[in-house]
Amino acid sequence: MTLALQVTAVVALLYFAVLNAIYLVFTGIAWRGVTHHLRARAYAGENEAFASPLTPPISILLPAYNEATGIVESIRSLLTLRYPEIEIVVVNDGSTDGTMGSLVEAFDLVRIRKALREAVPTKPVRAAYVSRRHPELLVLDKENGGKADALNTGLSAAQYPYVCAIDADAILEEDALMRVAKPMLDDPSLVAATGGIVRIANGCRVDHGRVVEVGLPRSPLATLQVVEYFRAFLVGRMGWSSLRSLLIISGAFGLFRRSLVEAVGGWRTETVGEDIELVVRLHRYLRDRGEEYRIDFVPDPVCWTEVPEDLRTLGRQRRRWQRGLGETVWRHRGVFLRPRYGVIGFFGFPYFVIFELFGPLIQIVGPPVTIYAYATGRLSLPFLIGFLVVSLLLGVLLSVAALALEEFSFRRHPSTRDVVRLLVFSVAENIGYRQLNDVWRLLAFVDLARRRRTWGAQQRRGIGARNSASSG
Amino acid sequence: MQQLFAWSSVALGGGSVTFVGLLVFRRIRLYRLEVERQEAERRLEPLALALVNGEEIEAVDARDAGVLAGLLSRYARQVTGDSSSALAGYFERSGGVEREVAALGDRRAWRRAAAAYLLGDMGSEWAVGALRDALCDGSRDVRTAAARSLGRLRASAAAEELVGVFVTAEVAHGVAGQALLGLGSAALPALRGLTGSDDPRLREAAVELLGLLGEAADSPLLVARLRDSAAEVRASAARALGRLAAEDAAAAVRAALDDRIPFVRAAAARALGEIGGRDAAPALLALARSDHYDAAQAAARALVRVDPTLLAAAGHEGFGPHVSEAVDRAAIRS
Amino acid sequence: MPEDRPLVLVADDDDDIRSLVIFRLERSGYRTVVARDGDEALAVALERRPDLAVLDVMMPKLDGYEVTRRLRREDATRAMPVILLTARVQDADVARGFESGADDYIRKPFSPQELCARVQAILGRR
| B103-124 pLDDT tens trace | 999 999 999 999 999 999 999 9
Among B307, A131, C31, B263, which residue's Cα sits nearest to residue B319? B307
Candidates B37, B49, B121, B301: best to mutate against C (most CBs of C within 10 A) is B49
Is 50 exceeded by the pLDDT of residue A465? no
For chain A, percent of residues with pLDDT exceeding 90 = 54
Residues of A in contact with B144 (CB under 8 A): 43, 45, 186
- Measure the CA–CA gap between A57 and A85, rounded to whole angstroms: 5
The answer to whether position A204 is within a domain reads yes
Bridge partners for A351 per DSSP: none
Is 60 exceeded by the pLDDT of residue B334? yes
Residues of A in contact with C61 (CB under 8 A): 207-208
Among B225, B235, B240, B276, which residue's Cα sits nearest to residue B257? B235
**pLDDT tens digits, A445-458:** 888 877 655 554 44
Least confident of A188-202, A411-425, A430-444, B95-109: A411-425
Q: Which residue has the higher pLDDT, B27 or B309?
A: B309
Domain C7-124, CATH among 3.40.50.150, 3.40.50.2300, 3.90.420.10, 2.30.110.10: 3.40.50.2300
pLDDT of residue A219: 93
For chain C, percent of residues with pLDDT exceeding 70 = 97
- Measure the CA–CA gap between C106 and A41, rounded to whole angstroms: 27
> For B42, which residue in chain C has the nearest alpha carbon?
C19
What's the pTM value of the predicted model, to 2 decimals? Answer: 0.91
The answer to whether position A393 is within a domain reads no
pLDDT of residue B157: 87
The answer to whether position A422 is within a domain reads no
pLDDT of residue A468: 33
- Residue A470, classified by CB atoms within 10 Å of its CB into exposed (0-12), middle (13-18) or buried (19+), is exposed
**pLDDT tens digits, A225-277:** 999 998 888 899 999 999 999 999 998 999 999 999 999 999 999 888 999 99
pLDDT of residue A456: 47
pLDDT of residue C2: 52
With CB atoms and an 8 Å threshold, state whether C90 touches A85.
yes
The letter for the amino acid at A177 is L
pLDDT of residue A453: 52
The predicted model gives B183-200 an average pLDDT of 88
The answer to whether position A425 is within a domain reads no
Range of the domain at A284: 20-350
Whether the CB-CB separation of A171 and A73 falls below 8 Å is answered with: yes
Is 50 exceeded by the pLDDT of residue C76? yes
The answer to whether position A272 is within a domain reads yes
ipTM, 2 dp = 0.91
- Measure the CA–CA gap between A237 and A235, rounded to whole angstroms: 6
| Domain total of chain A | 1
The predicted model gives A12-32 an average pLDDT of 89
Is 80 exceeded by the pLDDT of residue B84? yes
**pLDDT tens digits, A316-366:** 999 999 999 999 999 999 999 999 899 999 999 999 999 998 888 888 887
What DSSP element (H or E) covers A61? strand A58-64
For chain B, percent of residues with pLDDT exceeding 90 = 57
Q: Which of A43, A51, A55 sits opposite B114 (nearest CB)?
A: A43
With CB atoms and an 8 Å threshold, state whether B321 touches A114.
yes
The predicted model gives C20-41 an average pLDDT of 94
The answer to whether position A133 is within a domain reads yes
The answer to whether position A407 is within a domain reads no
C109 preceded by cis ω (within 30°)? yes
What DSSP element (H or E) covers A102? helix A99-107
Domain segments of chain C as ranges: 7-124
pLDDT of residue A457: 42
Q: Which residue has the higher pLDDT, B57 or A124?
A: A124
Residues of C in contact with A51 (CB under 8 A): 87, 89, 107
**Other CB atoms within 10 A of residue A416 CB:** 12
**pLDDT tens digits, B119-163:** 999 999 999 999 999 999 999 999 999 999 999 999 988 888 888
Q: Which residue has the higher pLDDT, A289 or A14?
A: A289
pLDDT of residue C3: 62
CA dihedral (B166, B172, B176, B177) positive or negative: positive
With CB atoms and an 8 Å threshold, state whether C109 touches B75.
no
Is 70 exceeded by the pLDDT of residue B172? yes
Among C3, C22, C23, C26, which residue's Cα sits nearest to residue C11? C22
Counting as contact any 3 or more CB pairs under 8 A, the partners of C are A, B
The letter for the amino acid at B48 is A
Q: Which of B45, B74, B79 sits opposite C112 (nearest CB)?
A: B79
Is 90 exceeded by the pLDDT of residue A181? yes
β-strand A86-93 against A58-64: which pairing, if any? parallel
Candidates C111, C115, C116, C118: best to mutate against B (most CBs of B within 10 A) is C111
Indicate which CATH number applies to the domain containing A346: 3.90.550.10
Cβ of B13 under 8 Å from any chain A Cβ?
yes
- Measure the CA–CA gap between B129 and B149, rounded to whole angstroms: 12
pLDDT band for position A461 (cuts 50, 70, 90): very low
pLDDT band for position A158 (cuts 50, 70, 90): very high
Q: Which of B45, B78, B82 sits opposite C108 (nearest CB)?
A: B78
Q: Where are the alpha helices (H) located in chain C, listed in sequence order?
A: 15-27, 38-48, 64-73, 91-100, 112-124
Whether the CB-CB separation of B298 and B269 falls below 8 Å is answered with: yes
The answer to whether position A437 is within a domain reads no
Using CB atoms and an 8 Å cut-off, which of residues 35-94 of chain C contact chain B?
none
CA dihedral (B137, B143, B146, B147) positive or negative: positive
* Phi, psi angles (nearest 5°) of residue A338: -90, 130
Cβ of C31 under 8 Å from any chain B Cβ?
no
What burial letters (b/e) apply to B259-297, b meaning 16+ CB within 10 Å?
bebbbbbbbbbbbbbbbeeeebbebbbebbbeeebbbbb
